[in-house]
Structure 1
Amino acid sequence: MNVEITRLPSGLTVVTETMPHLESVALGVWIKSGARNETENEHGIAHLLEHMAFKGTARRSARDIAEQIEDVGGELNAATSTETTSYYARVLKDHVPLAVDILADILTESEFDEEELRREKHVILQEIGAANDTPDDVVFDRFSEVAYRGQTIGRAILGTPETVKGFTPPQIRGYLSRNYTTDRMFIVAAGAVDHQVFCKQVEERFASLPTMPSATPVLEPAHYIGGDTREDRDLMDAQLLIGFEGKAYHQRDFYCSQILANILGGGMSSRLFQEVRERRGLCYSVYAFHWGFSDTGIFGVHAATNGDELPNLVPVVVEELRKASEQIHQAEIDRARAQIRAQLLMGQESPAARAGQIARQMMLYGKPIPNDEMMERLEGITTQRLTDLAGRLFFDTVPTLSAVGPIAQLPSMEEIAASLSLPGVTTKKAAG
């Protein structure tokens, strides 16, 4: 792993991985701040800021930004998540200075013009409408809202039409100055890049970044609650999500949870896929997942099926969860490890994937994690640890259920909770 790290005098961290056989470079700025860092009256502002960064600076118009990167065949994009935001580019190696210049420009000199803001609000309102028309997006948003009721971590990243319409340039600048500071930012490049040259370029162009936040960044502790939300819609299929509180990145059972999710529903050979889809034909899509955050996590099972199959589908899914708490085979662990190892190695063949991986590791652990060290963390996972974890995850905590579509035949939360031997849960009905 040819990774070099430099912490600039400003506090900004620069990380590169040189891949000399390539002709291109993937580079970007990752900020340890996302939708969760919004205040109560800022719902959706992190995502809006990400959009507005491309809408003109003191030196470039929105069209200039797009044309200048594409004139050299490059790509430029950004993304907002619950706890992070990223702005990234991919260019040929000769055009790295241009990419650095544009990224610095949009992050230090954006104007947040009133007219551009008005237009971009309209774009985001359309994005919110499109998400609300996409049931497999809605089911996850509703899930988070119920699992973490009344908390920033549970809110949809896009915001609401009401909040988005009300944002002003001063509010955007306030969020920016509070969260986009050198102590929370990592600039990462992977590909045909020289570390020292890249550091010099970054230091020159990002010199105006604030080193300290204008106010203390917001991050209220997460408190998993659980519950039930159902939205009956006239659709062809039903989207179902059953989940539990998972493990945070730094908790002992985080990697164990990743392996368990893979065994239950990580591919075509997984238990859920084979039993629910292949053997019984109860759905056309089913998978398990585990998402880690800084202080909590989500372990879930998602399925998409005809509404008439729900009474049969749910008991089978619950039974597979129960079986996982009783027996895991060593061969399943070995297969899951092999899949994770393959994903790690395949990711290293893509500079964009590698840059993103390094950035995430820097934000979470403060250092890049070598593949050998990553695999060592998985070596200590035994069948006993997995069955014990499954028992605690699925039968000692309150579940969260989210369903969208023709769900009239979906069993009640009380029935599902009883099948999991759980106490009663708080129920929230979504309007149909």
Structure 2
Amino acid sequence: MPVDLPMTYPTSDLILSETGSLVRRSILPGGVRLLTEADRSVRSVTVGLWIPRGSRDETPEHAGSTHVLEHLLFKGTARRSALDIATAFDEVGGESNAVTAKEHTFYYGRVRSADLPLAVDVLADMITSASLTDESLATEREVILEELAMAEDDPTDVGYETFLADVLGPDTPLGRPVGGTVAAVEALGVDAVRAHYAEHYRPENLVVTAVGDLDHDTLAALLAERLRAGGWELAEGALPRPRRDGAPFAMPGGVDVDAIVPHRLERETEQTHVYLGGPGLTSTSADRQIMSVLMAILGGGMSSRLFQNVREQRGLAYSVYSFSGGYREAGLFGLYAACRPARAAQVVELMAAEVAQMARDGVTDAEMRRALGQITGTLALGLEDTTSRMGRLGTAELVHGRYTSVDETVERIAAVRASDVQELAQRLAASFTTRVDVGPAA
């Protein structure tokens, strides 16, 4: 059975995972949440420090600050220079990185189990004691502008970000680009970054997840020690900040695909990159397993309908697939293809027709079996990667508020019926709102 992860004491402390290893969760002083999965079959540990605040949580005057702050945390603390932070992981053969998303930011490291104290010390130092100087912002601003320029040179990045903004609303917090805009980054001052840091990087927000050759109690004591050393006050009995909440957005109704006016972005490319789709499911929707099955059948691999029809049978595109994404109050689904410009209209027609046919005629038993095998195989392979498992713990805590094992997830997917997939396809077929074309002028 899934195990709820309450925000109040007593905590759900012991959970047996599908690998036979022990998953434990504790609420530490200050409201810090710690989730671990001990796996003695490996000699490494991946540890992640999560802040449940992302680009959607920025105020207009702080636009871009979440992504900028992620970069600046690697630029030094009172105890370490930027080189010290980089060297700490390099000289033990480890790795570290960070990700800014729309609803969270996290920093992680992967090291030998013997080097876990080092990883915790460095990451906790970054989280609690970032210097955030004018000089580091001036330097890193240029790096971020180069990152934005690199994305602007990639038609798939440009198309995807534009598609998300058009579906979710370009003026909404979810519709804004995660990395900010060039104008926002150029205008951002260090005081705004410091304000964002002070508001969100607090004990009651912090979630720590770790998977590998570790001991939960030892890590809990080490984590509390290093956070206190960084100046955080960890009050006994303090509770975590409640999880993100909110009712689903009122998303616009769909239209006939032929009636959609494409959002065209002119680029000097050999292909036109097409994104077609509309509103989908939220991250906590009860139908998300159905969406996984539908996406696998529609465009999730070489045996999928889009791949077979558009590429294999007709040779109209090299890359073609479907995708979906969910957030707390909104979601989206999309179809993507890259083809020569003269073929774009035909490819769009074929992609939309596949969704319409699925809505009209349903899916076959063979397709259902392949989808189940694809999804369960992917989940099983993920169990061999401590970083993937660390991410699953973070999602369980931040998004769902409950831990669900892979076996239980597989059972839910196996319970999806062909009629469920057809009903969801009918909803998606009536939800097309957006088309984005990136490529040369017509």
- TM-score, normalised relative to structure 2: 0.88
1:79/1:86 contact within 8 Å kept: yes
1:4/1:17 contact within 8 Å kept: yes
CA deviation profile, 1:133-178 (whole Å, cap 9, x unmatched): 1100000111122111311111111111211112222211211222
2:76/2:85 contact within 8 Å kept: yes
1:258/1:289 contact within 8 Å kept: no
Q: Secondary structure at the match of 2:301?
A: coil
Distance 2:403 2:309 in 1: 38
Displacement, 1:81?
0.9
Higher mean C-alpha displacement, 126-135 vs 220-229: 220-229
Name the counterpart of 2:200.
Answer: 179
Alignment of 1:3-82 (within 5 A): 3-82=23-102
Alignment of 1:380-399 (within 5 A): 380-395=415-430, 397-399=431-433
1:99 aligns with 2:119: yes
Name the counterpart of 1:320.
Answer: 354
Distance 2:281 2:244 in 1: 23
* AA of the residue aligned to 2:121: D
The sequence identity of aligned pairs, in percent, is 36
Name the counterpart of 2:322.
Answer: 288
Q: Secondary structure at the match of 1:304?
A: strand
Name the counterpart of 2:9.
Answer: none
Name the counterpart of 1:361.
Answer: 396
1:46/1:175 contact within 8 Å kept: yes
Name the counterpart of 2:183.
Answer: 162
Q: Secondary structure at the match of 1:206?
A: helix
1:249 aligns with 2:283: yes
Distance 1:126 1:156 in 2: 16
- Tell me: CA distance 1:218–1:56, structure 2 relative to 1, closer, same or farther (3 Å): farther
Distance 2:51 2:346 in 1: 44
- TM-score, normalised relative to structure 1: 0.90
Distance 1:261 1:217 in 2: 26
2:276/2:348 contact within 8 Å kept: no
CA deviation profile, 1:276-326 (whole Å, cap 9, x unmatched): 000001111000011111111111101111101112211111111111102
Distance 1:189 1:248 in 2: 26
Name the counterpart of 1:425.
Answer: none
* AA of the residue aligned to 1:188: T
Alignment of 1:267-278 (within 5 A): 267-278=301-312
2:355/2:428 contact within 8 Å kept: no
The alignment yields a C-alpha RMSD, in angstroms, of 2.1
Match of 1:138 among 148, 153, 158: 158
Name the counterpart of 1:344.
Answer: 379
Higher mean C-alpha displacement, 132-141 vs 332-341: 332-341
Displacement, 1:380?
2.7
Displacement, 1:368?
2.3
Any stretches of 5+ residues in structure 1 without a counterpart?
A: 409-432
Distance 2:325 2:198 in 1: 29
Displacement, 1:341?
1.1
1:192 aligns with 2:213: yes
Distance 1:63 1:220 in 2: 44
Distance 1:64 1:201 in 2: 21
CA deviation profile, 1:59-104 (whole Å, cap 9, x unmatched): 1111111112212111111011111111000111111111101001
- Tell me: CA distance 1:293–1:283, structure 2 relative to 1, closer, same or farther (3 Å): same
- Tell me: CA distance 1:80–1:302, structure 2 relative to 1, closer, same or farther (3 Å): same
Distance 1:349 1:276 in 2: 34
* AA of the residue aligned to 1:359: G
* AA of the residue aligned to 1:325: A
Q: Secondary structure at the match of 1:313?
A: helix
- Tell me: CA distance 1:179–1:193, structure 2 relative to 1, closer, same or farther (3 Å): same
Displacement, 1:407?
5.6
* AA of the residue aligned to 2:183: E
Name the counterpart of 2:257.
Answer: none
Distance 1:44 1:74 in 2: 29
* AA of the residue aligned to 2:142: H
* AA of the residue aligned to 1:318: A
* AA of the residue aligned to 1:187: V
Match of 1:330 among 340, 358, 365: 365
Name the counterpart of 1:377.
Answer: 412
Name the counterpart of 1:403.
Answer: 437
Displacement, 1:221?
6.8
Displacement, 1:220?
9.9
Distance 1:158 1:308 in 2: 33
CA deviation profile, 1:218-252 (whole Å, cap 9, x unmatched): 98974544874111222111110001211012222
- Tell me: CA distance 1:243–1:176, structure 2 relative to 1, closer, same or farther (3 Å): same
2:48/2:107 contact within 8 Å kept: yes
1:258 aligns with 2:288: no
Name the counterpart of 2:136.
Answer: 116
- Tell me: CA distance 1:345–1:209, structure 2 relative to 1, closer, same or farther (3 Å): farther
